[in-house]
């Protein structure tokens, strides 16, 4: 019987690295950007937006807004200057080879089409192949990849591919459920809509019963 672990890391013997060889396997689009965020440039752009909509950027309530928005973008896009692989460098040798699932990891990201937030939860599972990683690291990887201009579909795939590369497990499953404010507060305005995406790798893709077991761990058996 597989088991979903929701807290406390199972720490075994420390493995030197999750990657036995140093093949430079990379997931496209996940590499960190070199340059720092140019706060001044964002602030100037925000001031231009305020002018363009007919506002007065010098009135009291808006005076600090451009720089405040600049700092906000620096925070929301902090994942651009972070290599998500660093969270997966420390692994532990462990015989456990059933499903490890961390479900309900809350995340927030910005859709790259409108720069509006989409927020939801991630369910991340893998089946170890000799080594495990600290459970909180799975949430760290979600954070690092979510804090960039994103689309939910790509975020889902990047998470699955990165975990496959770095942990070399028997399988990885990533399911994201999110509400996109570009759909709820503008455009078609469907406030109750939720978008679900999934990426299955390894045994989660090839073995129906493993996938069924995962679904019952996440959603309960129907
Ligand atoms: Zn959008």
Residues of the chain within CATH 1.10.286.10 domain(s) are 39-76
pLDDT by position in tens, the chain (length 222): 444 544 444 444 555 455 544 444 456 567 676 678 999 999 999 999 999 999 999 999 999 999 999 999 999 999 999 999 999 999 999 999 999 999 999 999 999 999 999 999 999 999 999 999 999 999 999 999 999 999 999 999 999 999 999 999 999 999 999 999 999 999 999 999 999 999 999 999 999 999 999 999 999 965
Catalytic residue among 111, 157, 166, 213: 111
Q: Class assignment of domain 39-76?
A: mainly alpha
CATH number for region 86-219: 3.30.1130.10
CB 105 within 8 A of CB 124: yes
pTM over 0.95: no
Catalytic residue among 55, 98, 114, 121: 114
Residues of the chain within CATH 3.30.1130.10 domain(s) are 86-219
The environment of the single-atom ion ligand 1, i.e. residues with CB closer than 5 A, is 111, 113-114, 182
Give CA–CA dist 4/173, Å, rounded: 13
Give the Å distance between the CA of 180 and the centre of ligand 1. Answer: 7
Give the Å distance between the CA of 115 and the centre of ligand 1. Answer: 7
Q: What is the largest CA-CA distance in the chain?
A: 64
Give yes or no: 33 in active site: no
Give the Å distance between the CA of 194 and the centre of ligand 1. Answer: 13
Give yes or no: 147 in active site: no
pLDDT of residue 10: 41
Give yes or no: 180 in active site: yes
Q: Which two tokens stand for residue 59?
A: 């009135």
Give the Å distance between the CA of 100 and the centre of ligand 1. Answer: 32
Give CA–CA dist 200/33, Å, rounded: 28
- When computed from its CA atoms, the radius of gyration of the chain, rounded to whole angstroms, is 20
Give the Å distance between the CA of 71 and the centre of ligand 1. Answer: 21
Q: Which two tokens stand for residue 173?
A: 């499953």
Give CA–CA dist 18/21, Å, rounded: 9
């Amino acid at each position: 019987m597989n088991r979903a672990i929701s807290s406390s890391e199972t720490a075994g013997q420390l493995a030197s690295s999750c990657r036995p060889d140093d093949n430079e396997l990379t997931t496209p689009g996940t590499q960190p950007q070199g340059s720092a965020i140019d706060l001044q440039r964002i602030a100037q752009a925000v001031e231009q937006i305020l002018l363009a909509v007919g506002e007065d950027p010098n009135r009291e309530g808006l005076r600090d807004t451009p720089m405040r928005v600049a700092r906000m973008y620096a925070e929301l896009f902090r994942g651009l200057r972070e290599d998500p692989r660093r969270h997966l460098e420390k692994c532990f040798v462990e015989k456990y080879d059933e499903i490890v699932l961390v479900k309900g990891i809350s995340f927030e990201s910005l859709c790259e089409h409108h720069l509006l937030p989409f927020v939801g939860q991630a369910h991340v599972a893998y089946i170890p192949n000799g080594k495990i990683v600290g459970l909180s690291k799975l949430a760290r990887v979600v954070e690092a990849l979510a804090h960039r201009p994103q689309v939910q579909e790509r975020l889902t795939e990047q998470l699955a591919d990165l975990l496959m590369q770095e942990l070399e497990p028997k399988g990885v499953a990533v399911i994201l459920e999110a509400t996109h404010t570009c759909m709820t507060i503008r455009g078609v305005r469907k406030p109750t809509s939720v978008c679900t995406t999934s990426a299955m790798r390894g045994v989660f893709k090839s073995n129906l019963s493993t996938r069924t077991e995962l679904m019952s761990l996440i959603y309960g058996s129907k």
